[in-house]
Amino acid sequence: MPKLRNKGTVDAAKPAAGEFFLWDDQLPGFYLRVYPTGRKVYGVQYRSQGRTRRVSVGRHGPTTPDNAWRAARAILSRVDEGDDPATERDRERKAPTVRALADLYLERHARPKKKASSIESDERLFRLVLLPALGHLKVPAVTREDVAAMHHQHRATPVQANRALALAHKLFQLAERWGIRADTTNPCRHIDRYPEKPRERFLSPAELASLGEALAQLEREGNVHRSAILAVRLLILSGCRRSEILNLRWDEVDFERGVLALKDSKTGGKEVPLGAAALKLLADNQREEGNPFVCWGERPGARLIGIDKAWRAIRARAGMSDLRLHDLRHSFASVGAAGGESLLIVGKLLGHRQPATTARYAHLAPDPARAAADRISGAIAATMTGGGGAVVSLDQARRRRG
């Protein structure tokens, strides 16, 4: 039997009419497979669970005899420890790509368990971030370096990068649960997220006036869909989320009680109290015949689609190109907080589940400690002067100094 670590022995093996094997005389199971075309491939044969299995370790030429022998010995050592490299290889070959796993995620996990808005967000992240970077890779082959490179590529938009990382983590977590990837091998582990700075963009009184004027002009000109203008006005007057207004149906508007009785939202079914201005706006806008949605779309019976295009035209006319639709919700809350409404009430109007979510507006509210200091010092000063002296508050003092 030849010694396959000898290059001369391997080179001397000439092709025949059919393929044949040369077996090493030192390492049992190590072979050279010679094809009629002259192609020569090193491999290992072993038995596992009563079956004969083979694993290729490299083609002669790119792989030297000595390197092939070392690789074969390593594989046989794994077999001795109970591994089955051929089965693992077959599993990897049959494993789905990340693109196929994303489809499975949407079918098995997202659509049965998540809200439509969350599914749309997942699909957007797949389309823009995950699949361009990882979609072509086999699920078991994805490494931490692959995921880190994807995350780093989108560092200019840290919020999006972090959301994509969180989605990828869930994706590979499910891959482990479904047996597509080995347990405890999630490649998203130990990748640090980027710091996120909460964006706080509130409309000033002057900007609110500019927005109102822009809406009125575009409505008169007819250049923007009336339903989109209605949606923007409702957003700023109610503090609702974008999806809550775009999916709002007339049967959810309770004029008698002055609320929106939403059947579904990000936080589930809820009631949103409406002010007189919002109720008047709804009352003044007639229903589109045969359409159940308050903000109707072009197609019969459908809701408004494509508000982003209309919003770009509106904010351009108002001269506020950096303004997002979600900033209207922030502005509603900021006006309430600055006007002295308690954060508890503001949070209730916005539908926040946790007080901490509303806490971002605390700095806009009048300082209760300063107001208390005004009252206490005023009472003390009045007592000390026998009640005859005028008590001047801090705000009044500042105005006089000014």
* pLDDT over 50 at 24, yes or no: yes
With cut-offs at 50, 70 and 90, classify the pLDDT of residue 362: low
Enter the pTM of the model.
0.56
R_g over Cα of the chain: 34
Architecture of domain 7-94: 2-Layer Sandwich (3.30)
pLDDT tens per residue, range 48-84:
888 899 999 999 999 999 999 999 999 999 898 888 8
pLDDT tens per residue, range 117-168:
789 899 999 999 999 999 999 999 999 999 999 999 999 999 999 999 999 9
96 close to 171: Cβ distance less than 8 angstroms: no
* pLDDT over 60 at 393, yes or no: no
Average pLDDT of the chain, as a whole number: 85
pLDDT tens per residue, range 278-296:
899 999 987 888 899 999 9
Q: What sign for the dihedral angle of Cα 158, 321, 278, 231?
A: negative
Domain ranges for the chain, please list them: 7-94, 98-177, 205-364, 371-401
Burial of 193-216, coded b for 16+ CB within 10 Å and e otherwise, reads ebeeeeeeebbeeebbebbeebbe
With cut-offs at 50, 70 and 90, classify the pLDDT of residue 306: confident
389 close to 381: Cβ distance less than 8 angstroms: yes
The per-residue pLDDT for 317 is: 93
Containing 32, the helix (H) or strand (E) segment is: strand 30-34
Quick one: average pLDDT of 169-173?
97
pLDDT tens per residue, range 216-245:
999 999 989 999 999 999 988 888 888 889
> Is 7-94's fold the same as 98-177's?
no
329: which 2 tokens? 């919700």
Q: Which CATH class is domain 205-364?
A: mainly alpha
With cut-offs at 50, 70 and 90, classify the pLDDT of residue 370: low
More confident residue, 386 or 222: 222
Q: Which CATH class is domain 98-177?
A: mainly alpha
Quick one: average pLDDT of 369-398?
57
**Ramachandran sector of residue 286 (left: φ over 0; alpha: ψ -120 to 50; beta: rest):** beta
Q: Which amino acid is at 402?
A: G
The per-residue pLDDT for 354 is: 66
Distance CA 68, CA 342 (A): 74
Distance CA 43, CA 29 (A): 8
